[in-house]
Amino acid sequence: MSYRSTDVDILDEDQLFQKDLFTFAGGLELEPDVALKNVQAKGVDVRNFLTRGNTEKALTTAIENPPYGSNTTDAKDQNTKIVMEVLNSIKATDIPSIVKNLTLEQQDVLMKYIYRGMASPELYNSAVLLNWHEKLTEVAGVGCIVRVTTDRRTV
Amino acid sequence: MKKMLLSLKMSPTEIHQLNLGPITAHAFNKDRSQVAICPNNNEVHVYQKSGKGWNLIHALAEHDKLVTSIDWAPESNQLVTCSQDRNAYVWTFDSVTNKWKPTLVLLRINRAATFVRWSPNENKFAVASGARCIAICYFDEENDWWTSKHLKKPIRSTVLSLDWHPNNVLLAAGCADFKARVFSAFVKGVDQKPPPTPWGDKLPFNTICGEFSNDSSGWIHSVSFSPSGDALAFSGHDSQICIVYAGGETQNIRTSSLPYLSLLWITEEKLIAAGHDCVPVLFEKQGQQWRFSKVIDVGKKKVVTEATVFNRFQDWDSKGIREGSKEIELNTIHQNTITSIRPYQGSRHDISNISSSGIDGKLVVWDLK
Taking contacts as CB-CB distances below 8 angstroms, the residues of chain A near B217 are 22, 150-153
B174 contacts chain A (CB < 8 A) = no
Residue A26 binned pLDDT confidence (cut-offs 50, 70, 90): low
Contacts of B50 (CB under 8 A, 6+ apart): none
Cα nearest neighbour of B215 on chain A:
A151
For residue A28, the model assigns a pLDDT of 67
DSSP B5: P
Mean pLDDT rounded to a whole number for chain B:
89
Helix H segments across A14-72?
Answer: 18-21, 32-52, 55-63
For residue B9, the model assigns a pLDDT of 41
Q: Is the pLDDT of residue B366 over 70?
A: yes
A111 contacts chain B (CB < 8 A) = no
A143 contacts chain B (CB < 8 A) = yes
Taking contacts as CB-CB distances below 8 angstroms, the residues of chain B near A151 are 216-218, 238
Is the distance from CB of B221 to CB of B236 less than 8 angstroms?
A: yes
Backbone Cα Rg of chain B = 21
Is the distance from CB of B224 to CB of B243 less than 8 angstroms?
A: no
B110 contacts chain A (CB < 8 A) = no
Share of chain B above pLDDT 70, in %: 92
pLDDT tens-digit series, residues A38-71: 899 999 999 999 999 899 999 999 998 888 888 8
Average pLDDT over residues A21-32: 70
Q: Is the pLDDT of residue A8 over 80?
A: no
pLDDT tens-digit series, residues B159-204: 999 999 999 999 999 999 999 999 999 998 888 888 888 998 878 8
Residue B28 binned pLDDT confidence (cut-offs 50, 70, 90): very high
How far A93 CA lies from chain B's nearest CA (Å)? 24
Share of chain A above pLDDT 70, in %: 92
Do B238 and A146 count as a contact with CB atoms less than 8 A apart? yes
> What is the model's pTM?
0.88
Taking contacts as CB-CB distances below 8 angstroms, the residues of chain B near A104 are 254
For residue B203, the model assigns a pLDDT of 82
Average pLDDT over residues B335-361: 93
**Rounded to whole angstroms, how far apart are CA atoms B261 and B182?**
19
Taking contacts as CB-CB distances below 8 angstroms, the residues of chain B near A108 are 216, 254
Q: Is the pLDDT of residue B16 over 80?
A: yes
For residue B322, the model assigns a pLDDT of 65
B28 contacts chain A (CB < 8 A) = no
pLDDT tens-digit series, residues B126-171: 999 999 999 999 999 888 899 999 999 889 899 999 999 999 999 9
- Contacts A–B by Cβ distance under 8 A: 55
Among B56, B360, B213, which Cα is nearest to A26's?
B213
Among B69, B190, B77, B70, which Cα is nearest to B123's?
B190
Among A36, A57, A33, which Cα is nearest to A47's?
A57
Looking at the partner chain, which of B157, B254, B258 has a beta carbon nearest the beta carbon of A104?
B254
Average pLDDT over residues B286-295: 90
Q: Is the pLDDT of residue A113 over 60?
A: yes
A12 contacts chain B (CB < 8 A) = no
Q: Is the pLDDT of residue B19 over 90?
A: no
Do B216 and A153 count as a contact with CB atoms less than 8 A apart? yes
Is the distance from CB of A113 to CB of A153 less than 8 angstroms?
A: no
- ipTM here: 0.85
How far B363 CA lies from chain A's nearest CA (Å)? 26
Taking contacts as CB-CB distances below 8 angstroms, the residues of chain B near A141 are 255-257
Looking at the partner chain, which of A16, A21, A147 has a beta carbon nearest the beta carbon of B239?
A147
